[in-house]
Each structure stands twice: as structure tokens, then as C-alpha cells.
Chains A and B, each alone.
Chain A
Amino acid sequence: MWTTKTFLTKTKRGNILKIVREHYLRDDLLCGSSACNSCPHKDDEYVLDLKPVSICALFEYPHYIILDTNVVLHQIDVLEEDALTNVIILQTVLEEVKHQNTSIYQRLLEIVNSKKRKFYCFVNEHHKDTYVERKPGEKQSDRNDRAIRLAASWYAAHLSSNKLEHQFPQIVLITDDQNNRQLAQEDGIVCCTVQDYIENVNGFAGLVDKLSKNVMPESCSKDALYPAHLTPAQIHTGVKNGQYHSGTFHASRDNFLEGTASVHGFEKAILLQGHIGINRAVDGDQVAVEILPEAEWRRPSDIVLEDKADDPGDKLDEEAELLKTVKPVDNKDGEITPTGKVVGIIKRKWRQYCGILMPSKIPGATRHLFTPAEKRIPRVRIETRQSEILASQKILVALDSWPRNSRYPLGHFVRALGQIGDKSAENEVILLEHDVPHARFSEAVLACLPPNDWTIPDEEIKKRVDLRSLCICSVDPPGCTDIDDALHARPLEGTTDDGLETFEVGVHIADVTYFVRPDTALDKEAACRSTTVYLVDRRIDMVPDLLSSNLCSLRGNEERLAFSCVWEIDENANVLSKKFHKSVIKSAAAMTYEEAQITIDTKSRRDEIAQSLRILNKLAKKLKRKRMDNGALSLSSPEISVAEKLAEEFPQCALLRRHPAPPPANFTTFLKAAKQQVAPSPSPSPSPSPSPWGNG
């Protein structure tokens, strides 16, 4: 069933540690192609079509596509379009992508998991015929390229060996690596670049727009506007010996030619000014900064500076004017800040940005500027042929690179969000800009859900305390669908030693843990969303609807799983005892506040619900008074026993509410503003004057 050949993979780490790992090579891995009759596929294991329809004019015969790592990393937006199908993703590629960029990896997985895309993951690293051992002295990336080429030739040979009567699918390797392409051609593998392939695709308009303009940013030294970035090795040694400092770059919201980098060891953030000082850093990037001599230290400019409305082309200009405004420096100024310049980028933190297209004034041009909604982000140059349609839309753009000879970073169009001013489009922008996960729940998450007609199984009821006979009710605002807690109260027979009446009070919260098991896809998704987001007109659920407004909603007259906390309380609202357990409940009524109040007030009602509500009301009043007596802030409610229990059972992860005093620094901006209001300072206050540099 499985070959037991052992290959040893050795890696060295830190203080020279030899790690030897087993690597099993198998002979039972499938190729996933319907055109194959030698692999022992089951019917549902065919992913790739028998006769894939070619959409590319370059290759007019049926073929499967194999992608190189660099293609996946840079062209994920192209792959996400429904254009390319019958693609083979090699494990080598999958792992390299995972290693280099987890978010692209996640997006790739989404594509692979989507059935209609027909992306097949081939585990070439564990296949006995496609495993490649690293040669001595060979670079890891070269080995991976070799593995990809071997897998491609294997596929070609494998499919042709089936001796099918009709034409069997060929293999096309898409790679942007020229060296790899050349070696592949020598091996007889058909290959081409992404650009060649995509530009010859028929029938998918707009696909070309999504091509990432990925150029080596440091290699464009011709007509360079910006100084070159240092290599990672130079940065590493520079940071190590204190010449450079690493920090996160924060662009200024008001002045596009100014930013700061918070660096360890300096009390104040390092001020970075001008195109050269910022040197292509984008808000959020981790950068290496060189501190300028103290003589050149400045105070942050108080002016608002916006990028010109029209496209000035690839040149830098405003520099001199800007610097003029900030030159007057008083060395004894308390606001003086260390200045520096960016010498290299340690890690880009680029995401996709929402904004609007500013179509080029030249008709028919394909190069346009894009203005992001976030002011800290510079404008982006993108290429698109659909500028007329997009001009009136909110669009999403991804950054690709920022070569030295380009004034603006290069990016590509990802998708349109909707008309400018349209409510749903603007909503989308808000959600995207605040990184709120709002996509539909993935297949993997939905797979964790119980069936729609789920009922509580008998064995689960046996495991729990059965409280279905109790009269439990919930009180929520009108129209509430996710009823997460419910209450009950009833008088108890006995009295305390002091002759006080006693009551049983229970709080029941929906037992979500039954449905959301730890570490499942559902759990991870919920953890990632962490809360239900309420917009004005819609709600973004933390867990799928079936749970939040059905199975985990304690609706009236339906049996639900709950976690119960039951107290014994005397009539003065002193807690006598408490119990915690999982339970099954059946809420007698889901009421609105109004209904509940009416029920309490209607003296004629003497049913169980009314009585239990009255008890609760009475106790609540007592508790509230007590709390007030104690000075409001101390939490002497029964809730505290829940907190105590949590702290006792889960000391590592109990999160109890605590409000630390805000640091005084949080108020500096406010104080500054207040000061200016009270006694206007001699310096001109920053005001949105019509001309951005009118204060000179």
C-alpha cells in the first residue's frame, strides 16, 4: 500500500542543529485527471476534465496548466477570476506560497476548494516518481523549480501513457522566471509567461486588467527618481550594528510628504520628510531608517499638503517648496523631533485599497491614477481598458511594486465595488477599509454546521440537566433574532435562618460550545470575526445564521441547549448558593421589553411568567440599590459569581473586564486643540485653506 523508502531532509538552524526528518514516498497518490485510467481514482476524485476546453489562443489544443510559485504569488487576482480552469497546483508551489505569504495561501486554498474551478492539488513531494532531492550546493528555490519541471514532465508522460484514442490533454507550464522557462523548454515542456497566456485569452474581458505589474523595483535604475533600497543583508547588518533602526512607517494623514517611524530606543517617533526621506515606504510597512545628524532635526510641519489633482508624470517636484516651509527651526523648541530617511524596506504590509479611479485626460489611455480612500496611502498607477466604466465606481486595487523610476507605486485593478455614492458600495468600502471579514461563510465553515432540521439528540439530553419543565423566559428589544440569554425565577419553599424568603434565580445562556467545537473551521472563523458587526442596514454575523438566530437563539417554546447558572437568593438579594451546569431548556416566552413591562403591570395576571418576572423585577431593584449604595462601580451583583467561577476554572484565559486609566499621551492632541481655542497661539493654526501651501 505504501512504499517505506526513507529520505532524509536536513536543515540547519541556529547553533547548528541537524534535523533529520522522515519523508515517505508513496505510490498511491492520484493524478486527478479524468483522462487517466491508471491511477486508482474513485468517481469523486476526478478533478480535471477529460477534454479541457482551451481558452487561450496560443494553445488551441486541450491542456492542463501548471503554475509556478511566482505566478501564484503575484497573479492571485487573475487566478481568482473564473477564467482559468483545469489547473494543477503542485505541493511544492503550495508550500512555497504558504511560506511566503499566508494571506495569498488562504486565497489559493479557497480557489482550490471551489469545485467548479477544477484546481487539483498534486502532492508531488510525496510521489515516488516526482520527488526531487536537493543537490549539494543547490539553492532551495532552484530545487523547487526543478521539482516543478519534473512534475510537469511526469504529468505529460503519465497522461500520454494511457494510450487513449482521442487526444489526451497536454501540459502547459506558466512561469515568469526566465531561467526556469528556458530549462523547461530544454526538457521539452511547453511553457509561457503569464502575460503571454492571459493576453491571448478569449472571452474574458477585464482579465488583463488584473495582471499584476510586477517588476523588480530596485533594478529600474534608468531615470531613477528614488534612491535604491538596501538589500536585506545590508539592512540586517546595519540594524545589528546600530547604523540603521527598524520601525513601522506611519504616513501622515494631512501631509502626503511626511510620515513617522516609531523606532525602539527613541522617545519620539522619527520624522521622515519628502519623497526621498520616505523613499517609497507605504503606511504600515516595516522599514529600516537611518537617523540624520542632530543639526538636521526638525519639528513636524503643521501644514496640510495634498497630492496634486492631476497626473504630473514621473517626476518629483514639490520637495523644495515643502522643505522651505519647515526650515525655520528653533533648536530649543520642545517639539523638535529626530529626523531620518528610509534606506530599505524590511517587510511590505500592503493590502488591497478601496478608492476611486482618476481617469487619464488623454482619451483611450490605459494608464490611470487611483486615489485611495485612506489618505495615508499614496496614489497608485494602474492599467485598465475599462476606465470609462470604472470612473464612476468605487474600486478595489492591489499594490504590486514601486520601481525607482516611478513616481507612484504600480498596482492593478481587483474588482469594482459599485457606484460611487451607492449605499452598498460605500458599506463595502467601510468594511474593507476596516478589515472586517464579511465574506459569506466558506464551505469548510458551513460543513461544521448541524443539518437544518437538527433536533437535540436523546443522549445529549441525558448528559445535561433537564430544565425544560421550568418556566423560563427572555426579554429583548423588539425584532431581536439572536436571543442569547433567558431567565427564570421562582420562590423556594424554605426560608433562611433569619426568616427571609428565598428564591431560585437562573440565567441561561445559549450553549454555543456544543455547535462550535474548538479548532474547527467554524471556531477559527468566529474567532477571526470576533463579534457580530451591526451596520445601519445590515448585520454581519459572527457565526452562520442557522446558529445565531435559530439553534443558539433561545426562542420561545423551542427546546434549546443552554449553559445555566442558578442561584439561590434571599429576598434581600444576598446570594446563598450557586450552581453552574449545562442544561436543556424550553423558553416559555420570548418577550420584548414592552411586553414584559405590561405583564408585570397587569395585576390580573397571576401565571408563572408574570410571577417570575415580578420576582426578578423586585430582586433587580434591590440589587441596583445595593450597587448604588456601594458606590456604583463595585460589581456586587450575582454576575460576580460567574466571574469568580471563570477566574477559578480558567486562570490562564479568564478575561475579566478591567479599565486601566488612559495614558496622558492620549490627550495631548486634545489639549493642544483646547489650548489653541482658549488662547490662540502666534503661529498660524492649521486651517483648510484653499491653497495647500498658502501659509508660506
Chain B
Amino acid sequence: MPAADLLSSQGLRLDGRRANELRRIRCKLGVFTQPDGSAYLEQGNTKVLAAVYGPHQASKSKSSSDGVVVNCQYSMATFSTGERKNRPRGDRKSQEISLHLRQALTAAIKTELYPRSQIDIYVEVLQADGGTFCAGVNAATLALIDAGIPLRAYVCACSASMAWGARPQPLVDVPHVEEAAGGVVLTVASLPNTGSTALLEMSHKLHMDYFKMVFSSAVQGCRDIEVILDRAVRDHLAEGWTEQDTVTV
């Protein structure tokens, strides 16, 4: 499927970014007091909230002695898209994304530490402008860190598409306009620190020859996002740090 003119001859995308540039990411940890951990994240015009409860006692049916049970719920606010739409929780798309979220996040959480426990992660999309899953993963990572839940490393997600100009070029961090242009969208959730990939999803067929190009661009996007998230976490630590914390025995 052709994605027409996603990259201008001057090398700029429709919104003025270059092919390898992420959208502006702004985030904040600890936005709520009630959950154990929470975070708000903006990736361009995509805005999501994530809340983490737990680890707490798992309900008997789910309880596992091997490790913590991770529960994810992804939902979109009625006002999140251009057209107001009542989205009953658990519609098929949300359910699928919930499963993907769980797969991506479980890869990072040190689940073996907490047998018989459960972690509930809620991700709510306030405004959707493409890449809601990616923003969800990134926000959930921050919320998990805020909750003090042990992670192997940051798990970051980023999407990438392809511009078929004179020279095919991958586009990182795909907003809605580019998604709607009908090009391929590859979503990657990875642990950039360890170099492992937690989840891969692709919207259309893509010739194998180009896959590597798109994939490495998405992974580079994940790495860039990790740097941004790490800075946010450190800022949050600096803000919330109390002198008593440094007491060493």
C-alpha cells in the first residue's frame, strides 16, 4: 500500500520533523496519590495516563506460585479521538492492546520476586494521535518505576513507518496522519538497555528487504525514548528525594 509523499523533497515530514526524529515527549511521574505508582505521558498529541496498583495479594483464581500476575487494562476516553465515541471497556481493539501491553511489560518486570502477588496496570488514553500503544507502554514503565516495582530495565515502545520516496526511508514515531496514509506501521517494544525485543507488531505486509531498515529505526526510537524517560525519572527522584533517604548504616 503506497504511503504518498510522507517525506518532502526537503526531507521533512508532514508535521515538520525529520525522518529520525521523535515527537515531543513530556512526562511526569507520581501524578496520583491513590495508586502505588502513576505517570502521565505526552508523545506529541497522544496523551496517556497510567496507574499501577500492587503488588498486592492475587485473587485466588489467578494466584501463581511462580511469580507475580500482571494485569493490564487499556482503554480510550470517549473524547480521545476526533469523533466522540462511547467505548465500552473491553472492545476487541482495546482487549488486544491490553494483551500486548501485558506481554511487553511482563518482559521487563522481575516477576519471579513476588509469588502469589498481582500487579494491576491501567492505561487510559486521553487523546489519541497515533502510537497510543507505544505511549501506553512508555507511561506504564514510568508508573511501574514510580511504584518501586523491580524491573530488569526500562521497556520502551516506538513505532516506525516507511516513506517511499526516491529513496525508501524509515520514519520513526508515527502520528495519526502518517498511520492514516496507509503505510506500514511497525510497533516495537524493547528493552534498549539489554538489547532485547519484547514485542513486535506490523500493520501491513512489508517486503523482507525493508524490514531491517524499519526495525532498526524503531529500535533506535526506543533507545531515544529510554534516554528521555530516564531523565524524567531522575528529575522525579531529585524532586521527591528527602534527606533521610541517604542515611547509610
Over the window 17-51 of chain B, the binary record of Cβ atoms lying under 8 Å from chain A Cβ atoms (1 yes, 0 no) is: 11001011000000000000000000011000000
In the assembled complex, A112 has its CB within 8 A of some CB on chain B:
yes
| Interface of chain B residues 128 through 159 with chain A (CB within 8 A) | 129
Q: A4-B24, A444-B166, A519-B164 are in contact. Are A20 and B12 (CB under 8 A)?
A: no
Assembled-state Cα–Cα distance A19/B45 (Å) = 11
Contacts of B21 in A (CB 8 A): 2
Contacts of B177 in A (CB 8 A): 21
Assembled-state Cα–Cα distance A125/B14 (Å) = 11
Q: Which residue of A lies closest to B183 (CB)?
A: A519
In the assembled complex, A78 has its CB within 8 A of some CB on chain B:
no
In the assembled complex, B9 has its CB within 8 A of some CB on chain A:
yes
Interface residues of A, Cβ cutoff 8 Å to B: 2, 4, 6, 17-26, 29, 91, 109, 112-113, 121, 123, 125-126, 444, 447-448, 517-521
Could you name 10 residue pairs across A and B whose Cβ atoms are closer than 8 Å? A19-B82, A22-B16, A22-B24, A23-B15, A23-B16, A91-B10, A121-B10, A123-B12, A448-B166, A519-B168
In the assembled complex, B54 has its CB within 8 A of some CB on chain A:
no
Q: Which residue of A lies closest to B18 (CB)?
A: A2
Contacts of B9 in A (CB 8 A): 109, 112-113, 121
A625 nearest CB across to chain B (Å): 43
In the assembled complex, B92 has its CB within 8 A of some CB on chain A:
no
Assembled-state Cα–Cα distance A25/B207 (Å) = 34
In the assembled complex, B243 has its CB within 8 A of some CB on chain A:
no
Q: Is the CB of A17 within 8 A of B175?
A: no
In the assembled complex, B90 has its CB within 8 A of some CB on chain A:
no
Q: Is the CB of B16 within 8 A of A126?
A: yes
In the assembled complex, B2 has its CB within 8 A of some CB on chain A:
yes
Contacts of A91 in B (CB 8 A): 8, 10
Contacts of B166 in A (CB 8 A): 444, 447-448, 520-521
In the assembled complex, B91 has its CB within 8 A of some CB on chain A:
no
Q: A444-B166, A447-B166, A520-B164 are in contact. Are A21 and B10 (CB under 8 A)?
A: no
Contacts of A123 in B (CB 8 A): 8, 10, 12, 16
Assembled-state Cα–Cα distance A121/B9 (Å) = 9
Assembled-state Cα–Cα distance A18/B14 (Å) = 18
Contacts of A448 in B (CB 8 A): 166
Q: Is the CB of B15 within 8 A of A17?
A: no
Q: Is the CB of B17 within 8 A of A24?
A: yes
Of B10, B12, B14, B177, most A-chain CB atoms within 10 Å = B10
Closest 6 CB pairs of A and B: A519-B164, A24-B16, A126-B16, A4-B24, A22-B15, A17-B82
B81 nearest CB across to chain A (Å): 10
| Interface of chain B residues 201 through 249 with chain A (CB within 8 A) | 207
With A6-B24, A126-B12 given, name 7 new contacts (CB 8 A).
A17-B82, A17-B83, A22-B15, A112-B9, A126-B16, A518-B207, A520-B166
Contacts of A26 in B (CB 8 A): 16
Q: Is the CB of A517 within 8 A of B168?
A: yes
Q: Is the CB of A22 within 8 A of B10?
A: no
Q: Is the CB of B15 within 8 A of A24?
A: yes
Across chains A and B, the number of contacting residue pairs, with CB separation under 8 Å, is 63
A interface SS class: mixed
Interface residues of B, Cβ cutoff 8 Å to A: 2, 8-10, 12, 14-18, 21, 23-24, 44-45, 82-83, 129, 164, 166-168, 175, 177, 207
Assembled-state Cα–Cα distance A509/B229 (Å) = 53
Assembled-state Cα–Cα distance A91/B129 (Å) = 25
Assembled-state Cα–Cα distance A6/B26 (Å) = 12
Contacts of B2 in A (CB 8 A): 518-519
Contacts of A517 in B (CB 8 A): 168, 207
Q: Is the CB of A22 within 8 A of B164?
A: no
B94 nearest CB across to chain A (Å): 22
Q: A17-B82, A126-B16, A519-B2 are in contact. Are A22 and B168 (CB under 8 A)?
A: no
Assembled-state Cα–Cα distance A487/B161 (Å) = 41
Assembled-state Cα–Cα distance A19/B127 (Å) = 12
Assembled-state Cα–Cα distance A178/B65 (Å) = 81
Q: Is the CB of A22 within 8 A of B23?
A: yes
Contacts of B10 in A (CB 8 A): 29, 91, 121, 123
Assembled-state Cα–Cα distance A520/B168 (Å) = 8
Assembled-state Cα–Cα distance A395/B91 (Å) = 64
Q: Which residue of B lies closest to A25 (CB)?
A: B16
Assembled-state Cα–Cα distance A21/B10 (Å) = 20
Of A26, A125, A518, A519, most B-chain CB atoms within 10 Å = A519
Contacts of B167 in A (CB 8 A): 447
Of B12, B23, B24, B166, most A-chain CB atoms within 10 Å = B166
Contacts of B23 in A (CB 8 A): 22
Assembled-state Cα–Cα distance A448/B177 (Å) = 27
A103 nearest CB across to chain B (Å): 16
Contacts of A23 in B (CB 8 A): 15-16
B161 nearest CB across to chain A (Å): 13
B126 nearest CB across to chain A (Å): 13
Q: Which residue of B lies closest to A7 (CB)?
A: B16
Contacts of A4 in B (CB 8 A): 24
Q: Is the CB of A20 within 8 A of B83?
A: no
Q: A4-B24, A123-B10, A123-B12 are in contact. Are A20 and B164 (CB under 8 A)?
A: no
Q: Is the CB of B82 within 8 A of A22?
A: no
Assembled-state Cα–Cα distance A261/B233 (Å) = 69
A328 nearest CB across to chain B (Å): 56
Q: Which residue of B lies closest to A122 (CB)?
A: B10
Contacts of A121 in B (CB 8 A): 9-10
Q: Is the CB of A18 within 8 A of B82?
A: yes
